[in-house]
Structure 1
Amino acid sequence: MQPNLTRQQIKQRAKTQLRQPGVWGQMMIANILPWLITVIFTLVTVLGIVAVMTKFGVSRMALQPEQFATYYQQHSDTSMPLLKPLVLLWFTQGVAFTALDIFRGANRVRPGQAVMRLFNGQYFFGILFVWVFTVVLYLIGMMAFVIPAIPIVFGTSMSFYIYYDGKTHAENGRFSAMQAVGHSWQMMRGNKLDYFVLKLSLLGWSILKAITWHLFDFMINPYLQLVDAGFYENVQTQYAQKQAELN
């Protein structure tokens, strides 16, 4: 792949790859299981909100909104925001790595293999540790107020892809989650703003997913996954070239 692709070129290449015979359909099938999990969590969350509203009294909500806010905080299930990404972790990352393979030129997707590819000794615990490290760093950033958390999120955003490549190509498969997070931070120096702008350009898709209650995520996500993978591939290529020049 040629280095230094623009954001528009990354998105165009993602569309081109998806237009290969059968690729988009296969990626949609691969996304069905994560989509179903997302829908279930969404339904559980909505039902929980309705249950709290019912117990408090719908008629009281208009008269006592501040009391309802306090009541909701005390009686709502706060485990969902943490449990959902953890349950989805291996499924979504497996499909994300398949999207990276497609962006790199693969023209065939095995949906079942894509969604289950991380449930093995090579990747399972490493992916979990990458997630734990990034969450801990994010929480540290949040405790230092919101602004420091934003660079941390974007600085560690390539950690999973780096772990996948590192674990796949390293000698004897020795590549740690901590190495992946550290390499992501180094790789994203000077690229955080570019990634932020790319994400901003895709905001319309995220809004569409939200207002449709995630009912069409399995159709939308293949494109977003290939764009994300394309950004990583582009930045990774540039970073490797810089490292080679320094050596």
Structure 2
Amino acid sequence: MEQHYKSRAELKQDVKNMYKGNWLYAILLNIIPAMIVLGAIRIIEVIFLPISVLISEPVNNGQPLALIIFILIGLVSFIILTIGMMLVSYGVMFTLLGWLRGEKINMDSVFNSGFSGFSPKYVKGNIIIGIESSLYFYLWSLLLVVPGIIKMISYSQAIYLYKDYIDEGNKKEYNFGDFINESRKLMNGHKWEYFVLQLSFLGWFLLSILTLGIGFIWLTPYINATNANFYDNLKSKKIN
């Protein structure tokens, strides 16, 4: 049995009401984590640049060991940045979900949001679930684009489900893949609804491009909070 679900307009209105008078927090909440990621990129560049310069000549001369080291540096940098960006984005998602549920937002929570995805109680699951869902999406995308998009939508709620499970203090044993499966079940009958919700931002996305990206300062918080609200509404209304 299912109860009434909020419409796209209602989901967006909730976010507008929440952000009313709080747009500065909303913008900083999404910008500061991005700045953290950019700072991490610069640190990695500073660490690895001297090594890359030293081995650049041997690489150009075709020395195998130097080439292997060069590839490993690139691979390690990519992994660190990818996982870091993923955890930072999860931190923003978690903070927005809490805000929608009535948690107070202030400058402390704004600055800490980028690190909440690194919290010891979340970090292992965040990494594994993020990698697993991305891998499944990639494998399905090898078949055709449409199956990949469908699976991406099916798995989109997994990280929220994991957060709620941990926060609720459940003691039942689980595999991290269980949350991907639970997301798929939760999204049964709601994938098209979620897809249309994302399409509804297309006009604002194009407008943001026309403003040389300035519009994304407002659009990104709007989209992120609406997606969090979609999950909160779906989870609270769906009865197994």
Q: Tell me which interval the TM-score lies in, with the shorter structure as reference length.
A: 0.7 to 0.9
* Partner residue, 1:139: 138
- Which region of structure 1 is more displaced relative to structure 2, 92-101 or 191-200? 92-101
- Which region of structure 1 is more displaced relative to structure 2, 100-109 or 144-153? 100-109
C-alpha distance in 2 between matches for 1:13 and 1:193: 21
Structure 1: which 5+ residue stretches go unaligned? 42-76
Taking a change above 3 Å as real, the CA distance of residues 34 and 108 of structure 1, as seen in their structure-2 partners, is: closer
Percent of aligned pairs with the same amino acid = 24
Indicate conservation of the 8 Å contact 1:39/1:215, yes or no: no
Indicate conservation of the 8 Å contact 2:36/2:114, yes or no: no
Task: Write the mapping of 1:58-69 to structure 2, written as runs, cut at 5 A.
Answer: none
* Partner residue, 1:120: 119
- 1:84-133 CA distance string (max 9 Å, x none): 65331111111111111111222324212212112222011110111111
Give the CA deviation at 1:162. Answer: 0.8
- 1:129-161 CA distance string (max 9 Å, x none): 111111111111012222221210110011111
C-alpha distance in 2 between matches for 1:38 and 1:203: 26
For this pair of structures, how many residues does the alignment match?
A: 205
Taking a change above 3 Å as real, the CA distance of residues 197 and 94 of structure 1, as seen in their structure-2 partners, is: same
Q: 1:97 aligns with which of 79, 94, 102?
A: 94
| TM-score normalised according to structure 2 size | 0.73
* Partner residue, 1:9: 10
Partner SS for 2:5: coil
* Partner residue, 1:160: 159
Task: Write the mapping of 1:201-212 to structure 2, written as runs, cut at 5 A.
Answer: 201-210=200-209
- Which region of structure 1 is more displaced relative to structure 2, 6-15 or 208-217? 208-217
C-alpha distance in 2 between matches for 1:204 and 1:101: 28
- Tell me the amino acid that sits aligned with residue 10 of structure 1: L
* Partner residue, 1:189: 188
C-alpha distance in 1 between matches for 2:174 and 2:18: 29
- Tell me the amino acid that sits aligned with residue 233 of structure 2: N
* Partner residue, 1:108: 105
C-alpha distance in 2 between matches for 1:212 and 1:83: 32
- 1:150-193 CA distance string (max 9 Å, x none): 21011001111111111111324855421211110000001000
C-alpha distance in 2 between matches for 1:210 and 1:81: 27
C-alpha distance in 1 between matches for 2:4 and 2:38: 38
Indicate conservation of the 8 Å contact 2:205/2:219, yes or no: no
C-alpha distance in 1 between matches for 2:207 and 2:77: 22
- Which region of structure 1 is more displaced relative to structure 2, 181-190 or 206-215? 206-215
Give the CA deviation at 1:202. Answer: 0.9
* Partner residue, 1:28: 27
- Tell me the amino acid that sits aligned with residue 4 of structure 1: Y
- Tell me the amino acid that sits aligned with residue 116 of structure 2: R
Indicate conservation of the 8 Å contact 2:140/2:151, yes or no: yes
- Tell me the amino acid that sits aligned with residue 114 of structure 2: V
* Partner residue, 1:66: none
C-alpha distance in 1 between matches for 2:34 and 2:207: 15
Taking a change above 3 Å as real, the CA distance of residues 111 and 226 of structure 1, as seen in their structure-2 partners, is: same
- 1:15-59 CA distance string (max 9 Å, x none): 00111x4x3212322222333367789xxxxxxxxxxxxxxxxxx
| TM-score normalised according to structure 1 size | 0.72
C-alpha distance in 1 between matches for 2:169 and 2:121: 12
Give the CA deviation at 1:231. Answer: 0.6
Give the CA deviation at 1:205. Answer: 3.1
Indicate conservation of the 8 Å contact 2:129/2:158, yes or no: yes
Indicate conservation of the 8 Å contact 2:88/2:115, yes or no: yes
Structure 2: which 5+ residue stretches go unaligned? 41-73
Partner SS for 1:31: helix
